[in-house]
A and B are shown apart, each in its own frame.
Chain A
């Protein structure tokens, strides 16, 4: 039973990084497919396409961030002694990691689809890149809110 708290915390970190990262990879992949299509017609648009393709990638970074926070909190990283974590603290950390994992996953996929559509928009209208970058950023709002919630929750758990 001693280790259950620690393990729950690790599970939380795993879910945060894993789900958010999966969402980002799917989103970036969807955007990349659209980008490849646009570049068959005009390879010169590579820079713009790459910019738009990179946008759904931030959710994976947010998930990694929270995973690191969680791992740091239970003292698994950094070479120092592991901290004693009881079951409730571990469970708390697990729950705190959920917002960024879930919100990151779904928002990254949605953002990927938006980016794909925006890539197709700049294929016909490259002068509208400014607007094309803002539309996916609207979707990312919710990933940011998920990150914020996870940060605040993690911050509030006392080990």
Chain B
């Protein structure tokens, strides 16, 4: 039904045509290639290709990264993810690759990048030198004395703590006398350190340095390219900086024009080589002999004839062996479902695919999720908003990928369900129609389909929720029963599932007769059903244990699990809670808005803002809650009865693109 039947297909291909065969397989996109476990010998032919492609891909990655900040994308990334991409055929891409000398372009761009980096680092250097020099603008001598010195005189610049200055000056006069001259830059009162310089005779230089360090002097190096006076150097640095900035601007404009010219091509080529790469990776992962290559793959049964047809032309040099998967194999899982189930398939995928040969839960959870979502959100107005929003999305992005489309359809269906439940409970943006007199004429129309109002009658809704929960749990048990029969596990079917079904049904009926909802005449049969179920369970639940006593004890203990079923049913009470919550939030917003109307002059403006903002916020929060909790009920209460997931998704060799759409896939 829903898990596609997969065949094991082995291709024995002659070396000469293997690449073409793989291209055809890639085009059909229906073939998952099994990689070899042991990779002792690698096919040198494909390795060479892979290396060439990998180096081309690293160049494209570099180009894409470099161009990104300069390129003005006409299509925002989200639109691109939703399918708004240029079309290319594989031949067009191949000829594009031939025409474009990507390596040369990359080399050219690399020189641009290098120059930009050089410029930027030089500018940083200039800025830091300027910062230093700006502190010592009053230096009486040219910087040559400090940066290089003369034969007899040297100097150094640095910072000195302010309180040490007096002591330092004295020490210099005492120890160096005429041989030393200091300079102190002017400093603010609050600064802790001052910029100072000391000039001295070469022979006293070391002594001077030692002296300075005693007073906490920290030297700042002056690069020996600086020789003029401070003012002149600052001017020179400034002019250099400006010319660098101009050059940077020029290069950036060049980069920008290159980006505009080459970005689309680079993106297309990136996708092209990724396509080739996946093809050659398959080759390098296959077994090979001197003259042939052996490709093992999984293909869905329905796709096998088409594959054989496409490869007909190579019949002379190709052998195809089709067989069924053996028990030790682990084929992948591909879900195949009818149109109305497809949106609910996304929910199964979120949880985890079934193993090959297991049941597909998607059609089973579909009606329940549909109803539960409607009950949790339960407001006609919110449903209309959902419908409008997601229909708009569908219309705008016509080429979106299958998975996204299914997801959006899911929300559209959920919106429809919400509108139904909203109409049945008379909830349109909460009680907007009742609160505001301006809607008086709609009230009778609104009230026609109303069956039940959760705000006034929560108990009834609670019983409906618990009732639905009981139905879903029994349904789950029946599915498990059917599944066990299908797998020929008769003991499991009748003992495990059958036993519980009887027991729970019996308990329910007893509850019904006791509370008076069912006629008392059913009391006897219901007790009998429950007793029969309990007996089956007691006798069979301990069958894995050894010894009669052990079996009996396990059997009796297993009856205790009835509490977990009780918990499961109670869990469905959240349908009431969430439905009530969304209705109540709506009515609160409306009440606040109606209070705001009372404010003179601007009251109605405030009310409108409150209604728009409040209900929008309410829609967002309630959709999140409705989705998550409806889903959780499926995953935890329903799936736990019969489903475990653990399947691997079918991953065929196909065109894996990020920036373009391959036009051949559209024909298929």
Closest residue of chain B to A51 (Cβ to Cβ) is: B624
* Bound-state Cα–Cα, A29 to B170, Å: 60
User: Is B585 among interface residues, defined by CB-CB distance under 8 A?
Assistant: yes
Interface hit among B44-52, B189-197, B627-635: B627-635
> What DSSP secondary structure best describes chain A's contact surface?
helix
Which of A61, A79, A134, A140 makes the CB contact (< 8 A) with B585?
A61
The residues of B that contact A144 with a CB separation of less than 8 Å are 573-574, 577-578, 629
User: Is B404 among interface residues, defined by CB-CB distance under 8 A?
Assistant: no
Interface hit among A2-10, A32-40, A118-126, A145-153: A145-153
User: Is A138 among interface residues, defined by CB-CB distance under 8 A?
Assistant: yes
The residues of A that contact B574 with a CB separation of less than 8 Å are 141, 144-145, 148
User: Is B584 among interface residues, defined by CB-CB distance under 8 A?
Assistant: yes
CB of A134 within 8 A of CB of B577, answer: no
The residues of B that contact A134 with a CB separation of less than 8 Å are 351, 628, 631-632, 635-636
Which of B350, B573, B621 makes the CB contact (< 8 A) with A61?
B621
> Residues 59-102 of chain A: 1 if any B CB is under 8 Å from the residue's CB, otherwise 0?
00110110011000000011100000000000000000000000
| A131-B350, A138-B636 known; A148-B628 Cβ under 8 A | no
User: Is A137 among interface residues, defined by CB-CB distance under 8 A?
Assistant: yes
Closest residue of chain A to B634 (Cβ to Cβ) is: A134
**Interface size range on B against A:** 20 to 34
CB of B632 within 8 A of CB of A65, answer: no
Chain B nearest CB: distance from A112 CB in Å? 15
Which of A68, A79, A140 makes the CB contact (< 8 A) with B584?
A68
| A131-B350, A134-B635, A137-B632 known; A148-B576 Cβ under 8 A | yes
Chain B nearest CB: distance from A121 CB in Å? 14
The residues of B that contact A152 with a CB separation of less than 8 Å are 458, 462
Which of A62, A130, A145 makes the CB contact (< 8 A) with B573?
A145
User: Is A57 among interface residues, defined by CB-CB distance under 8 A?
Assistant: yes
Q: Which of B351, B591, B621, B628 has the most CB of A within 10 A?
A: B628
* Bound-state Cα–Cα, A138 to B635, Å: 11
* Bound-state Cα–Cα, A140 to B576, Å: 15
Chain B nearest CB: distance from A25 CB in Å? 15
| A54-B624, A130-B351, A141-B571 known; A147-B581 Cβ under 8 A | yes
CB of B632 within 8 A of CB of A151, answer: no
The residues of B that contact A140 with a CB separation of less than 8 Å are 628-629
> Residues 576-600 of chain B: 1 if any A CB is under 8 Å from the residue's CB, otherwise 0?
1110110011001001000100000
Closest residue of chain A to B625 (Cβ to Cβ) is: A58
CB of A147 within 8 A of CB of B585, answer: no
The residues of A that contact B631 with a CB separation of less than 8 Å are 133-134, 137
CB of A151 within 8 A of CB of B458, answer: yes
Chain B nearest CB: distance from A120 CB in Å? 19
The residues of A that contact B580 with a CB separation of less than 8 Å are 65, 151
Closest residue of chain A to B635 (Cβ to Cβ) is: A134
CB of B588 within 8 A of CB of A68, answer: yes
Q: Which of B349, B350, B571 has the most CB of A within 10 A?
A: B350
Interface residues of A in 99-130 (CB under 8 A from B): 129-130
Q: Which 8 A-B pairs have the closest CB atoms?
A: A130-B350, A144-B574, A137-B632, A137-B628, A148-B577, A144-B577, A65-B584, A147-B577
21 chain-A/chain-B pairs, Cβ below 8 angstroms: A54-B621, A55-B628, A68-B588, A78-B591, A79-B595, A130-B349, A130-B351, A131-B352, A133-B631, A134-B628, A138-B632, A140-B629, A141-B632, A144-B573, A145-B573, A145-B574, A147-B581, A151-B458, A151-B577, A151-B580, A155-B458
